[in-house]
């Protein structure tokens, strides 16, 4: 059985149109993902770790407290006295307090107190996931009580 060489070379070709379609779809996907990302500006913080976290989906105000006690609202440093004036536009928005793990608890409590006195009720604390739960820490403890 003899194969026709001219027929073999004519049928062997690389289809590039499906490849272009796939590359275009990937490009569109990454552009849409890039545009939907939200940049969070604020103080450089090292968040405390907890065993369970919950993601907040709605638009929120970010209040950051660094280890020296500086307070920033959405990246803008403010004093404790000016904090409520900065965020009092919409009391229905959620407030996320991001405190550095080395920050003093007193500053965070002062911020929380100012927010509750001003009528804000949807307040959350930001943390990194990764620490075992209290029960797991007690079970793995080598110290006898």
Return the pLDDT at 25.
Answer: 94
Return the pLDDT at 42.
Answer: 62
> 71-125 pLDDT, tens per residue?
888 888 888 888 888 887 767 778 888 888 788 888 888 888 888 888 888 888 8
CATH code: domain 49-129 is: 3.30.420.270
What is the domain partition of the chain in residue ranges? Answer: 5-36, 49-129
Residue 79, phi-psi category: left (phi > 0), alpha (psi -120 to 50), beta (remainder): beta
Gap between the Cα atoms of 14 and 18, Å rounded:
10
Which residue do the tokens 């407290």 mark? 65
Cα angle value 115/121/126 (rounded, 5°): 75
Which pTM does this prediction carry?
A: 0.52
> What's the mean pLDDT in 61-74?
85
């Amino acid at each position: 059985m003899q194969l026709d060489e001219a027929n073999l070379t004519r049928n062997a070709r690389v289809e590039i149109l499906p490849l272009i379609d796939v590359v275009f779809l990937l490009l569109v996907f990454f552009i849409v993902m890039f545009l939907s990302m939200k940049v969070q500006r604020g103080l450089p913080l090292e968040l405390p770790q907890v065993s369970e976290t919950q993601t907040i989906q709605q638009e929120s105000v970010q209040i950051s407290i660094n280890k020296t006690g500086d307070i920033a609202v959405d990246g803008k440093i403010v004093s404790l006295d000016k904090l409520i004036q900065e965020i009092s536009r919409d009391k229905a928005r959620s407030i996320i307090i991001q405190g550095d793990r080395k920050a003093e608890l007193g500053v965070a409590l002062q911020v929380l107190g100012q927010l509750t006195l001003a009528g804000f009720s949807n307040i959350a604390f930001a943390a990194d996931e990764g620490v075992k739960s209290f029960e797991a820490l007690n079970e793995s403890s080598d110290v006898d009580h």
